[in-house]
Amino acid sequence: MSLKSIFGNDDKSIYETIETHADGPQGKLPLTKEELIKAPSGNVFGMTLNAGMGWAPTHLNDDDVMILSTMGGMRGENGQPIAMGLHTGHYELGLQIKAVADELTKNGGLPYAAYVTDPCDGRTQGTIGMFDSLPYRNDAATVFRRLIRSLPTRKGVVGVAACDKGLPAMVMALASMHDLPTILVPGGSTLMPNKGEDAGKVQTIGVRVANNELDYDEALRLGCEACASAGGGCQFLGTAGTGQVVFEGLGIALPHSALAPSGQPIWQQVATDSATAMTEMIHSGLTTKDIITDKAIENAMMIHSAFGGSTNLLLHIPAIAYQAGCKVPTVEDWARINQAVPRLVSVLPNGPVYYPTVYAYLAGGVPEVMLHLRKLGLLHEDVMTVTGQTLGENLDWWENSERRLACRKRLEKIDGVSPDDVIMAPDKAKHRGLTSTVTFPMGNIAPEGSVIKSTAIDKSVIDEDGVYRHTGPAKIFTSEKAAIHALKDKGSIQKGDIMVVMGGGPQGTGMEETYQITSALKQLSFGKHVALVTDARFSGVSTGACFGHIGPEALSGGPIGKLREGDIIELIVDTVNLKGSINFIGTKDQSVSYDQGAQILANRETNSAVKPDSDLPDDTRLWAALQSIGGGTWSGSVYNVDKIIDTINAGKAVLNKKQDDKISN
């Protein structure tokens, strides 16, 4: 490396084209003398900047609208990459941003675009990058809010996002803008390959090859072909897909906008129509606080249950409710709604038939599911939405719309699939074995609770009465890395084992996802007979007998951190009545009652190997501390500023007193 190697190939003509002056934009700022005198200098200078960037001076006074997105990468006009994004979910968003901007301009608006790109949980699985995943959400929401406030003349905000953490961060930011019109444009879904696997299953090619359950050359082919289009969230109902349908259910996105096939005309039309809605919201005075209400939050929770959504939304919906100033849902609220709302949708990863999420879109998406929930009398139909009409009015339109008929017919024509097999009526869903989505087991291992996507437990290991029962020995791991190593070491994990991964909560790893483990268990032939218990969380595509969000976490002294190798654990999940328990019941030599087990665990020391990961970033350590003051993961991992300030002030007072006492002594 040398200066010559860096500068030696420069084109010498670049020096001959340097200029220091240029003609400025021609025209005048569209301001009266009174406006010029009274306006803040920043507002006037903003017009100067806009003229400098090329906007027509005669339109500098049009309605300013901020378009925020998570766009990443650089896509050439021919669709080929100039620079890669971190994932497909944000790579094509520029097309939707352009559609929004063009329509806003056509309607007399002045669009601005700003970006906070987002990470990919799939890309960071099994790496230290996962330690930044959940904390990123709060950071991004903060930056989004700062960007909105940095355009003081804004009349409205359009958010464009698709995936796991950028999408909830966006909606948290929109929800906090109580007095502004805001609307979400969901980033859609990736297409399935004509021959290959979805982006969830393909993440297990390594562990399947290691266990001799997949040919090496076939694994390489599958790994190359899984993402059949360049944009959109993964083809399964993970956190990205769940977020899209839930936030449409919230009323902050247009009807039938979630899960559209990325890059296709109907997907771009979602953006165009959203821009039209934004213009009308500005003119009518409809704002975010009119849309995101306690009732709207409950509707969103119902959509989560009816679709069989990702457990990560248990973190995101409370955070959005908090930002909106609404009642933050509790575990009891989640349990109540899951007991009332049946699961109706058959898609990846829950089944029973593993259709890609674009099938759910063509089958009618969120409004089609809502028609069924309406017949059950479950929805709050009087809530306002971004259409300027109530949810009930939207559903009246949808039921007889050309759009509904055309999309459902298209699914039957190109794939030979009946839309009523993808989105089912309640009786049909029950007959096909679909159960409600989540259960919250408690017990002496999880006195504060845990969560399992009970609808995704393999039906072959559930008893005829609808209850999953598993009693087995604990295999203890103090890191996800150690656990996945054991799964790749053929014979280390066997049928009947209960894998316990401790130290994966906020203080240990930033509450990492453990999809490496859950996906491996799903794809390995013996995996359905193995359970997972952890204080970490799961990917939205995770399935199986996986108990996460165990509280308290190991590093807070939780009982999970006191389990030992070979301890006998009893797991019970009633998938019908949505009740469950998770208990230490002794050893192979001595059985104990639940209460005795609780006492034994209380008297034990936490496993000495349970420590914050040595690679845990300071940024994540700070996040873990701040979110714990706001109520922790069961309250959405939010930053409750008043509580944080009170806690800091109380701590300073104690430290000051100690210092004063030290001086006086």
CA angle in degrees (0–180, nearest 5) for 309-313-315: 155
Ranges assigned E (strand) in 70-153: 74-75, 81-83, 109-115
| 243 neighbors 315 (Cβ within 8 angstroms) | no
Task: Say which residues have a Cβ less than 8 Å from residue 308's Cβ, sequence separation at least 6.
Answer: 237, 343, 345, 347, 350, 434, 437, 453, 455, 456
Sign of torsion over alpha carbons 288, 385, 249, 263: negative
Instruction: Write the DSSP symbol of residue 115.
Output: E
Active site residue 664: no
Asked if residue 347 lies in contact with residue 360, where contact means CB atoms within 8 angstroms, the answer is: yes
Vertex 242 angle, CA 238 and 248, to 5°: 160
What is the torsional sign of CA 65, 71, 74, 75? negative
Q: Which two tokens stand for residue 436?
A: 């409600």
Show Cβ contacts of residue 408 under 8 Å, excluding neighbours closer than 6 positions: 362, 363, 364, 419
User: What residues does 159 pair with on adjacent strands?
Assistant: 68, 184
Those residues whose C-beta lies under 8 Å from the C-beta of residue 118, and which sit 6 or more positions away, are 70, 72, 86, 87, 89, 90, 136, 140, 161, 163, 164, 165, 166, 169
* CB burial readout 437-458, b (16+ within 10 A) else e: bbbbbbbbbbbbbbbbbbbbbb
DSSP strand pairing (449-451 vs 546-551): antiparallel
Token pair, residue 502, equals: 């401790």
Catalytic residue among 262, 450, 454, 539: 539
Output the six-digit token pair for 317: 């919906």
640: exposed, middle or buried (C-beta count within 10 Å: 0-12, 13-18, 19+)?
middle
Which of 295, 371, 302, 394 lies closest to 342 in space, CA to CA? 302
Q: SS3 for 41? A: helix
Closest among 243, 103, 92 to 164, alpha carbons compared: 243
3-state secondary structure of 281: helix
Residues acting as catalytic residues: 539
